[in-house]
């Protein structure tokens, strides 16, 4: 519990700290994330080869399947990013917008950028014909992100934004939008 609290406080201090520190973290965090993604893709290829996984779909079928998946994930990711920039912030938790974004894709889900990123990663796995990237790493990464959001990022947002974020959390689902035909009538 002590490490969790320390991480929440670290993110809070960086998000509310000097602009110079926020700029440095805004540069380093995406570079770190990009390195992790490249590492995961190469590891997935190695696991596919090691376990003898063969591609279920060959070229061009894999590309035809991947294009709409990549387009949907990239659109959602890009649309979400646009709202961060319009709000004068970044998606990096260390340099957030000054207030809660609850319009555009954020009116439907709290983490549309994560949803878009996971959809895109799945599409990359389909395009690159990697079973382990699509069916092992993508769900594991999604689980890891879910845990990070629940354990660190959401408590930090509650600390920084207070009741506004708690109400938003009650009103808007985390990753998947509520559809009218699925709602309980509230």
- Which pLDDT score, from 0 to 100, does residue 1 have? 57
What is residue 73's predicted lDDT score, i.e. its pLDDT?
Answer: 94
Encode the chain (186 residues) as per-residue pLDDT tens digits.
Answer: 588 788 878 877 877 778 888 788 888 888 888 898 899 999 999 999 988 888 777 889 889 999 999 999 999 999 998 988 888 877 777 778 888 889 999 999 999 999 999 999 999 999 999 989 999 999 999 999 999 888 888 988 888 889 999 999 999 998 888 876 555 544
What's the rounded Cα separation, in Å, for the pair 57 and 65? 9
Tell me which residue range forms the domain holding 8: 2-175
Residue 183 belongs to some domain of the structure: no
Residue 40 lies in a domain: yes
pLDDT of 186: 45
- In this structure, is residue 181 part of a structural domain? no
Question: What is the CATH classification number for the domain harbouring 129?
Answer: 1.20.120.1630
Q: How many Cα atoms occupy the beta-carbon half-sphere of 12 within 13 Å?
A: 16
Contact in structure between 11 and 153 (CB atoms under 8 Å): yes
Residue 25 lies in a domain: yes
pLDDT reported for residue 180: 66
> 39: Cβ–Cβ under 8 A, 6 or more apart, which residues?
none
């509310």: which residue's tokens? 16
153 lies in some domain: yes
The answer as to whether 182 is a domain residue is no
């Amino acid at each position: 519990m002590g490490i969790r609290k320390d991480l929440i406080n670290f993110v809070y201090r960086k998000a509310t700290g000097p602009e110079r520190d926020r700029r440095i973290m805004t540069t380093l965090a995406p570079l770190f994330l990009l390195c992790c993604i490249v590492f995961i893709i190469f590891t997935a290829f190695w696991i596919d080869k090691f376990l003898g996984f063969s591609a279920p779909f060959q070229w061009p079928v894999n590309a035809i399947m991947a294009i709409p998946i990549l387009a949907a994930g990239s659109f959602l990711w890009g649309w979400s990013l646009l709202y961060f920039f319009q709000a004068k912030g970044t998606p990096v938790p260390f340099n957030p917008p000054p207030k809660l974004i609850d319009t555009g894709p954020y009116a439907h889900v709290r983490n549309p950028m994560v949803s878009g990123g996971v959809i895109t990663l799945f599409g990359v796995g389909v395009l690159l014909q990697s079973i382990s990237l699509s069916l092992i790493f993508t769900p594991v990464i999604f689980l890891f992100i879910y845990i990070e959001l629940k354990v660190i990022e959401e408590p930090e947002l509650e600390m920084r934004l207070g009741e506004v974020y708690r109400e938003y959390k009650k009103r808007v689902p985390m990753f998947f939008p509520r559809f009218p035909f699925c709602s309980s009538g509230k």
